[in-house]
Amino acid sequence: MKIGVIGSGSWGTALTKIITDNGHDVIWCVRSEKTAAHVRERHHNPKYLSSVYFAPDHLTVTTDVTEVYTNAEWVVLAVPSAFVSGYINPFLDKPIKGLRIISAVKGMVPEEIQLLNQYLEENKGFQPEHYVTVMGPCHAEEVAAEKLSYLTFAGKDADLVQQVAAIFHNDYVNTVTSSDVNGVQYAAILKNIYAVGIGIAHGLGYGDNFQSVFVANAAGEMTRFLSAISGGGDKQVDYSASVYLGDLLVTCYSLFSRNRSFGNMIGKGYSVEATKLTMQMVAEGYPAAMSIFKLNKEAGAAMPIADTIYRILWEGMDPSVAFSSLEGKLY
């Protein structure tokens, strides 16, 4: 089986490691020919997770996305949500509609404020049964170190989801399956917003006591939104499961969390633009705050935390003033 991976950041690199470690052939699309040449010659990504070495007999590296769509049976999309449409729209005349897509995108298509599967189905005629999403809780850095991690795979076709989960399962990756395709993606989007918030709290000088209350309230807020956006929610969904609560916890508390780091700089007084330039990495919680704010106008969930983060990031509200107001809304 040949699997395509589009995206050469830390998450794309980690997923490529898992798949090749498991003996599957990968055609990997990276951003630049310089990176491609380095991987071909030295068998590791020079910029992200450079400690990870790949078996060359299982890896083909390219900078041409068309090669991935033409030659792979499955395509893993592991690019920032802001850029994902650019890796799809130009290739609609290729066999993309018949492909099976594994989405590792942790955000919405910004032009439409839609999840990737919604965008593909409503605008591109993609078969929803051919879509599987992969979510955490899982930091790429721990995959690189082969520390035991858990990945959740969600899709409409249970047999297909099991097949995909088997591709990734090994002695350092346990796999979980789910049918809550939209819910796990919304949860991944929300946890990034809350991680930005916990970073702001830390940057402002709030201690562990407040931060624990913040995260507990964020978990409740996430549940309210997921229930509202699904029209009442699937009563069988356990929102304390690892893909919901677990991913929220690790993203809020881990030092690997770029969203927490992004928020920490905001809390310390950096502007959004200065923070983006300094980090030189995409923090998905920033665009997500705008998307969720707009979506929730229809969903109508009580979301004081997400609203506060939106106003800080997008309306320029002073973080200390915003959090002072938020204090009285938590319990």
Catalytic residues: 191
Contact predicate 226/183, CB 8 Å:
yes
Q: What's 109's DSSP letter?
A: B
CA-based end-to-end distance of the chain: 51
Residue 175: φ, ψ to 5° = -120, 145
304-314 vs 285-299: helix crossing angle, rounded to 10: 130
Contact predicate 164/138, CB 8 Å:
no
Q: What's 114's DSSP letter?
A: B
Q: What Å distances lie between residue 249 and 58, 164, 210, 242, 286, CA to CA?
A: 35, 26, 15, 9, 18
Question: What is the Cα–Cα distance from 118 to 120, expressed in whole angstroms?
Answer: 6
Contact predicate 304/221, CB 8 Å:
yes
116-124 vs 181-204: helix crossing angle, rounded to 10: 140
Q: What Å distances lie between residue 42 and 27, 47, 64, CA to CA?
A: 17, 13, 20
Listed in sequence order, the residues at least 6 apart from 326 whose beta carbon sits closer than 8 Å to its beta carbon are 304, 305, 308
Please provide the DSSP assignment of 180-231 as one string.
Answer: -HHHHHHHHHHHHHHHHHHHHHHHHT--HHHHHHHHHHHHHHHHHHHHHHTT
Question: What is the Cα–Cα distance from 73 to 143, expressed in whole angstroms?
Answer: 24
Strand pairing category for 100-103 and 173-178: unpaired
